[in-house]
Amino acid sequence: MSAMMKVVGKNLKLLIRSKSSALVVILGPLLVTLLVGLAFNNSTLFNLKVATFSPQYDELTTSFLDKLQEQNFLVTRFDNEENCVESVKLGVSHACMVFPPGLDIAAAEGNEIAFYVDNSRVNIVYTIMDTISAGISSRTREISSGLVQVLVDTLGKTKENAEKENANVLKLIEQNEQVRARQKEIEGKLSSLDLSVESGDFNIGGLRASYDGRLTELYDTDSKIRISLNESREILDGMSDPNATSVEEQLTSIENELDDLGVNGTDWVALTALFDDLDETVTQVSGQLSAAGSARSDVSGITGAVKATLDTNLNTVMTVKGSLGQMASDISAVEITDVGGIVSPIRTRVEPVAARTYISFLYPSLVSLLVMFTSVLLGSTLIMSEKRSRAFFRNLISPIKSTLFVYSTYVTVLIVLGIQLVIVFALTEWGLKIPVLRNLPSVLFLTFIVTTVFTLMGILIGSLFSSEETATMAAISTSSAMLFLSNLILPLESMPQYLQQVARFNPFVISEHLLRQTILFKQPIGGLLGESYFAEFIPAVYLLLIYVSVLFMAVLLLLNVVQKMYLFRHVLGITKRESVSAASKSDGSLAELLERGKSQLAAGQLQEARGTYIAINESYTRLSQGEKKHFYPKIVQFHEQLDKAPR
Amino acid sequence: MCLSLSTLQIIKFKNLETPAAPMVESRDASDDLIIIKVSSLLVKFGGTTILNNISLDLREGEIFGIVGMSGSGKTTLLNTLMGVIEPMNGTVFYKPQQIIRTREDRTQFRSIRSDPDNLKRTFGFSAQNPSFYTKLTVRENLDFFGTLNGLPREVKETNMEILLDLVGLTKAKDQLAERLSGGMQKRLDIACALIHNPHVLILDEPTADLDPVLRRQMWDLIRKINHRGTTVILASHFLEELETLCNRIAILFDREIVAVGTPLELQARFRSGEIVLVQTVSQSYGKLVSRLKDEFKLLEHHFVERHGKLEIRVPEVQVLIEELSEARDLDPKAAEKLIVPSLSAARVLERVMRICEQLGEQPTYLVASKADLDHIFEAIVSGGKR
């Protein structure tokens, strides 16, 4: 147990004594943890970009966009659907909303908004859909609420009116009862009428006979009159009165009228009797009629009342009719009556831009991961193993350029990674049946650049550090930091804004993005070169090329410096030994030198002790006279010890 | 021993000649022979001076040794010659391979900064830690570095065959480098350094981790390489190795070249005299030392006990006189009157035998020899006390 603890203690000492090891071993994980904490210490998404396309941006459409902007979405309008969808594939937008033409709440059909999302980003796509859908649903709920409110208001008003007209209806019912009563009354009255009349009562035969009689009388009269008239005339004829003419005329006239009267008979006498009879009958009838008249009066009174009641009822009915009409009108005014349209006035449809399985979604990320870790670790390991190799010194003194090993390491990593990728691609294409080789030139081109970036990074790390464990720790820490600051674990959109800006320049993020373009979306090389992930100033591929240049320059600059330092410290050991010798010669106080010399002598390190004696000598010359007096006996004593020491 | 406050500093450089001139040569070498010229080299790293005012010339076909303590700058000097380390000041000129081979315009030197690739083709380097790919076979390593050196296929194949035979790895050519023994790995490293047939081979501590047997095998290999016409620059802190192999040796001390010459020249220059080595059964030498001090006027620093043996450094008389004068603070001229017996290793040896006999000590080892590089070096490091 104690031996084990001893070894553990020795290991810790070795780690700590190398400053770079201590730095990397202790600070590396802390830094990574700090980064992760900063990146993921929140639960929301930031800077979600939504592209939109609509044939017309009317009030309804704009209301949706405003709602999204209220929820901190960055909304970009596109002028055609293809560009909108393409922006999702390119990663410029997280989703594309396509509004249908003529979006109208009243329309039962065609109110469907299509969402195009990149479902290859499995760790964010559902969050994006949920978040955007929440925004859309919010607006839809507002619209739906509005529609329902209209219905509710209409119902309320209808109910109010119905309650109001109910009183009228009750009144109608009451009055209807009254009419019924009156009707009964009329019926009674009418039934009491005696309208039975016998024709015989009128004695018409008798009337006729009477008439004939009367007529004869009348005829007699007529004859008398005529006789009178003739007499008159005769009188007249005998007169010479001026008015005789006129009287003649009048007599004539009377004669005429008698003629007109046509009475020659005795009809008139009978007639008078008949008339008396008739008069009597009439009187009787008259009496009956009077009674009927009274009844009629009564009925008239009743019907008048009924009429009034009916009039009133009619008004009431009209009023009710009016109300009912208003209700109908109100109900007709409700535009949306379709239940589905009220509950979901606007529907959504999700369209994936890349319809694949989960493995194919993750595939670009997995390839990036493989390339990154292999390149960084292998690059640093190869450089470090070269440095630590016993042949390092001989390589240094061989007539070759110092960059030869950098290029060799690079080519070695390319070959190893190439073999790995061939196997991976072959397995994926023919084993997992994922078509990854359809866009092979682009994939190869991009993989080459990505490998270059990470290999140079690994070479730089291997050049910077002097021990294998430190270099390995640094390589792992660097790769882990890049991994955490990427989309692979949690989406970048869940990080704070400032970290997102940093993460966008993460080579792993760029690689993953570009590989997704080539593998999933089959972007050609030309498309990659023009790809505008960093639309503000530079395509992503050029950024990777910049990284290649910068890393290569850094490696070249560091190579000579680091190699020489490594050579001096670890291969030649010049600094340590010489600095010790120098220290033994001139460093430290005289007292320390004396102590050191004695210790060396006691340890049998005769030559070292002699070197220390030389340093003592040198230091002695710089002492003041008083100090010289003080140290002189001690130096002599050391001198004698040195002299007597066994060779 | 008498030390004063002001003389502490003097001790370090006592009797050492710090070359004011770039180098001191026992004979003048014409430019025809010189293939590398180093002048006033100053190398700093991180504000610390590693090499200061280094100047030397290397000749074609020689085995040139560089000796110094650990951390003295040997590796730095070698790497500076290779162009791996850039000096802050000074120049390093070399004759490119094609000029050496074709004998054209032999005065044409090039700076190591002007044409690094040519420099790397002219020089081969085998560092202290073998430098090759452990996961490649012997043959694959040679093939790889041959390709890096731009060798055509046929030339590369030919060189590989020759080198495998030269370093004795023909049978092991298909073995992984990591499975080779230490000595074989070192030979492979040398083979990799020679694959492009450089004219100068730099070896940094070639036998550092080898046992004595393998070390000697490596010496034989280095000789063979040199006999083929390759100039060898050899850095080591094994003095015996340098003495055995090298035509000339540069001593690197305190960031400077303090001496350059053949082993004999260095011995003569530092007047380190002769050595008598004695070992007795008891390995207790107090009384012997005391007697020798009295008889020969030797001082404390002339006696060194090492590995159970007593090493008696027999200085030249003049040197002894000067040392005695200083130690006793006497006038040098007056010191000439001191009776100092004639000294020679043989005489001391004889005396040692007698004293041992008198003391009842039984010697088991007695050798008299010239002072070797080890002693010269120690003399330099310890301040050259006399």
Of the given ranges (A385-389, A519-523, B292-296), which has the lowest mean pLDDT?
Answer: A519-523
For the cut 60, the answer to whether the pLDDT of residue A408 exceeds it is: yes
What are the pLDDT digits (tens) for A6-31? 777 777 776 666 676 667 767 777 77
CB contact under 8 A, B12 and A646: no
Cβ of B131 within 8 Å of Cβ of A393? The answer is: yes
Q: What is the pLDDT of residues A102-129, one digit of tens each?
A: 777 666 566 788 888 887 676 677 777 7
pLDDT of residue B126: 93
Q: Which site among B45, B147, B185 would you substitute to test the A interface, given the most A Cβ atoms closer than 10 Å to its Cβ?
A: B45
Mean local confidence (pLDDT), A524-528: 77
Beta bridge partners of A215: A266
pLDDT at B380: 66
Rounded alpha-carbon distances, angstroms, from residue A285 to A57, A196, A288, A292, B189 = 92, 10, 5, 10, 168
Helix (H, G, I), strand (E, B) or coil at A143: helix
Which of A578, A594, A627, A644 is most worth mutating to test chain B (most B CB atoms within 10 A of its CB)? A578
Tokens of A264: 């020659």
Lowest mean pLDDT among A466-480, A519-533, A553-567, B127-141: A519-533
Question: How many Å apart are CA B378 and CA B374, to the nearest integer?
Answer: 6
For the four alpha carbons of B163, B165, B169 and B170, in that order, the dihedral sign comes to positive
The pLDDT value recorded for residue A45 is 63
Closest CA to A215 of A151, A273, A266, A149: A266
Q: Where are the alpha helices (DSSP H) in chain B?
A: 8-13, 74-81, 97-102, 116-122, 138-148, 153-167, 182-194, 212-227, 239-245, 263-270, 286-296, 317-328, 332-335, 345-359, 373-381
* Banded model confidence at residue A531, pLDDT cuts 50, 70, 90: low
Q: What is the pLDDT of residue B320?
A: 67
Which tokens is A489 given? 């674990």
CB B72 within 8 A of CB B244: no
Backbone angles phi, psi at B40, to 5 degrees: 50, 45
Q: Which residues of B touch A578 (CB under 8 A)?
A: 45, 48, 50, 71, 73, 76
Compute the distance between CA of residue B352 and CA of residue B361 in angstroms, rounded to an integer: 10
Q: What pLDDT does residue B16 have?
A: 27
User: What's the pLDDT tens digit per position in A318-335?
Assistant: 888 888 888 888 877 777
B129 in reach of chain A (CB within 8 A): yes
- A356: exposed, middle or buried (Cβ count in 10 Å: 0-12, 13-18, 19+): middle
Distance CA B255, CA B77 (A): 10
Dmax over CA atoms of chain B, in Å, equals 76
B44 inside 8 A of chain A by CB: no
| Contacting B residues, span 271-300, partner chain A, CB-CB under 8 Å | 300
pLDDT band at A582 (very low <50, low <70, confident <90, very high): very low
> Considering only CB atoms, which chain B residues are within 8 Å of A593?
none
The CA–CA distances, whole Å, from A188 to A301, B212, B304 equal: 14, 163, 174
Q: What is the pLDDT of residue B64?
A: 94
pTM: 0.62
Q: Which residues of B touch A575 (CB under 8 A)?
A: 45-46, 48
Note whether B71 contacts A577, CB cutoff 8 Å: yes
Q: Is the ipTM of this complex over 0.95?
A: no
Mutate to test the interface with B, among A382, A581, A585, A630 (most CBs of B within 10 A): A581
Report whether pLDDT(A349) > 70.
yes
Asked if the Cβ–Cβ distance from B12 to A400 is below 8 Å, we say no
Residue with tokens 């004829």: A237
Cα distance between residue A428 and residue B102, in whole Å:
63
Give the 3-state secondary structure of residue A81. helix
Q: What is the DSSP letter of B7?
A: G
- pLDDT attached to residue B12: 29
Range among A203-212, A437-446, A558-567, B156-165 rated most confident = B156-165
Nearest CA in chain A to B86: A564
Rounded CA gap, A257 and A253, in Å? 6
Residue A617: which of B12, B123, B132 has the nearest Cβ? B12
Q: Is B384 helix (H, G, I), strand (E, B) or coil?
A: coil
Contact predicate B70/B237, CB 8 Å: yes
**Low-confidence winner among A511-515, A602-606, A625-629 (lowest mean pLDDT):** A625-629
Chain B neighbors of A590, CB-CB under 8 A: none
For the cut 50, the answer to whether the pLDDT of residue A587 exceeds it is no
Maximum C-alpha span of chain A: 228
Q: Domain boundaries in chain A? A: 199-333, 358-571, 574-647
Q: How confident is the model at residue B321, as a pLDDT? A: 66
Query: Please, which residues bridge with residue B124 across strands?
Result: B201
A-B contacts at Cβ under 8 angstroms:
115
Q: DSSP label at B144?
A: H
* Amino acid at position B212, single letter: P
What are the pLDDT tens digits along chain B (386 aa)? 333 333 333 222 222 232 222 223 333 445 568 889 999 889 887 778 888 889 999 998 999 999 887 777 888 899 899 888 888 888 888 888 665 555 555 557 888 878 778 888 889 999 888 899 999 999 999 999 999 998 999 999 999 999 999 999 999 999 999 999 988 999 999 999 999 999 999 999 898 878 888 888 899 999 999 999 999 999 987 888 888 899 999 988 878 888 888 887 777 666 556 788 899 999 899 999 999 988 887 888 788 887 788 988 887 666 666 666 666 655 556 555 556 666 778 888 888 999 999 999 888 888 887 666 666 676 666 554 33
What residues of chain B lie within 8 A of the CB of A389, using their CB? 133-134
Burial of A133 per CB tally in 10 Å (0-12, 13-18, 19+): middle
Strand partners, B34: B59
Contacts B12 to A, Cβ<8 Å:
614, 617
Torsion sign, CA atoms A199, A203, A209, A210: negative
Return the minimum-mean-pLDDT range out of A39-48, A483-492, A586-595, B239-248.
A39-48
- How many residues are there in chain B? 386
Residue A641 has pLDDT above 90, yes or no: no
Mean pLDDT along residues A526-545: 74
DSSP A151-171: HHHHHHHHHHHHHHHHHHHHH
Judging contacts by C-beta atoms under 8 Å, the chain A residues touching residue B141 are 391
Neighbours of A5 (CB within 10 A): 9
Top residue of B148, B189, B197, B289 to mutate, by most chain A CBs within 10 Å, is B148
Query: How long a stretch of residues is chain A?
Result: 647
Residues of chain A neighbouring B134 (CB-CB closer than 8 A): 389-390
- How far is C-alpha A211 from the geometric centre of its chain's CA atoms? 110
What is the tens place of the pLDDT at every residue in A161-197?
Answer: 888 888 888 888 888 888 888 888 888 877 777 766 6
The one-letter amino acid code at B337 reads K
* DSSP helix/strand/coil, B337: coil
